[in-house]
């Protein structure tokens, strides 16, 4: 319903696991009022969401390095289908259970908004008001490994990596089917309000992708901030920035045995080669080939 230009239902024949908060707010999300100067970062989890949202937030907020360090990204870039921080200094367990859609109503423009929802579940106005949407893809093998660590760090996951990978391939992890999220946005990549970028390109040439993003959202990167800005977006700086790691807003009790784990963790491409077995790699390749058959999706996976 609502004029979504492609259908993604062929990828979701069964049930799909989504945040509980989404289910309580399906209607509010679908009918969310977009503004033409919003910038949306849409991804499957672990594809480089935080990296891209940091880039865009800085461009839209006068390169405010201080605020980026002091105010958590969770507050600066509301997470559409999740509850949001009303007060950026409170830990997550004390977070007001306010839907991000309510928080966003009172946010001044330009807003930067994050979502992991698949295209048909996103607000209908994305395709009438047409705010800019940046979609970020990442090799699913790296995504699965990163997602497994994320689940251990933030969701108290105690299963094995093998169990996690199997669930990922079956689309039985949070947000369901990886290809079901990616391919509909791939089909939409020529829409004037969509920019499709990849984690791999960000790694290969951060400056080139950043310029592409700047052009797309009509932002300028002033010469006097350029060097600091690229440094700010480097893995080393992001890993040290309390504003993009979750430690400060997750209650410490929850993380007390996980001090060695980090949200901004490894930041590499191809690290799956060290973590996946040859059998798992074969399973991934077959799974990807089957999903992209009949499409013109070009990336090596």
Interface ranges with ligand A3P (CB under 6 A): 43, 45-51, 142, 146, 149, 233-235, 238, 264-267
Q: CB-wise, 48 or 243, nearer to ligand A3P?
A: 48
> 114, 112, 127, 121: which is closest to 191 by C-alpha?
127
Nearest position to ligand A3P, beta carbon:
267
Sequence-distant (≥ 6) Cβ neighbours of residue 276 within 8 angstroms = 141, 144, 145, 165, 284
Q: CB-wise, 240 or 289, nearer to ligand A3P?
A: 240
Annotated catalytic, 149?
A: no
Q: CB-wise, 195 or 233, nearer to ligand A3P?
A: 233
Dihedral sign for Cα atoms in the order 207, 178, 140, 148? positive
CB of 102 to ligand A3P, least distance (A): 24
CB of 260 to ligand A3P, least distance (A): 14
Catalytic-role residue among 83, 116, 150, 232: 116
CB of 42 to ligand A3P, least distance (A): 11
HSE-up of 236 (CA within 13 Å, CB side)?
4
Q: CB-wise, 127 or 185, nearer to ligand A3P?
A: 185
Write the DSSP symbol of residue 9: G
**What is the spatial distance between Cα 262 and Cα 258, in angstroms, rounded to a whole number?**
8
**What is the spatial distance between Cα 112 and Cα 34, in angstroms, rounded to a whole number?**
11
CB of 27 to ligand A3P, least distance (A): 26
User: Which positions are annotated as active-site residues?
Assistant: 116
């Amino acid at each position: 319903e609502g004029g979504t230009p492609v259908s993604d239902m062929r990828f979701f024949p069964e049930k799909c696991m989504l945040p509980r908060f989404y289910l309580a707010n399906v209607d509010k999300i679908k009918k969310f009022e977009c503004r033409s100067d919003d910038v949306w970062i849409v991804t499957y989890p672990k594809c480089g969401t935080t990296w891209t949202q940091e880039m865009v937030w800085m461009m839209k907020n006068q390169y405010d390095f201080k605020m980026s360090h002091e105010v958590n990204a969770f507050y600066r870039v509301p997470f559409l289908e999740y509850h949001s921080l009303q007060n950026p200094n409170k830990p997550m367990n004390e977070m007001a259970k306010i839907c991000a859609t309510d928080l966003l109503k009172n946010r001044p423009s330009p807003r930067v908004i994050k979502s992991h929802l698949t295209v048909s579940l996103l607000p209908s106005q994305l395709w009438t008001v047409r705010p800019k949407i940046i979609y970020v893809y990442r090799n699913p093998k790296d995504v699965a490994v990163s997602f497994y660590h994320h689940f251990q760090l933030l969701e108290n996951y105690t299963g094995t990596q093998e169990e996690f990978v199997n669930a990922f391939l079956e689309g039985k992890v949070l947000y369901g089917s990886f290809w079901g999220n990616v391919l509909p946005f791939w089909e939409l990549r020529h829409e004037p309000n969509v920019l499709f970028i990849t984690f791999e390109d960000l790694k290969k040439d951060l400056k080139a992708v950043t310029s592409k993003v700047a052009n797309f959202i009509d932002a300028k990167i002033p010469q006097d901030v350029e060097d600091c800005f690229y440094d700010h977006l480097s893995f080393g700086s992001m890993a040290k920035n309390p504003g993009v790691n979750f430690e400060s807003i997750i209650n410490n009790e929850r993380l007390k045995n996980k001090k060695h784990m980090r949200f901004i963790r490894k930041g590499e491409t191809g690290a799956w080669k060290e973590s996946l077995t040859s059998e798992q790699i074969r399973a991934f390749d077959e799974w990807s080939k089957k999903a992209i058959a009949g499409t013109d999706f070009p990336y090596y996976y």
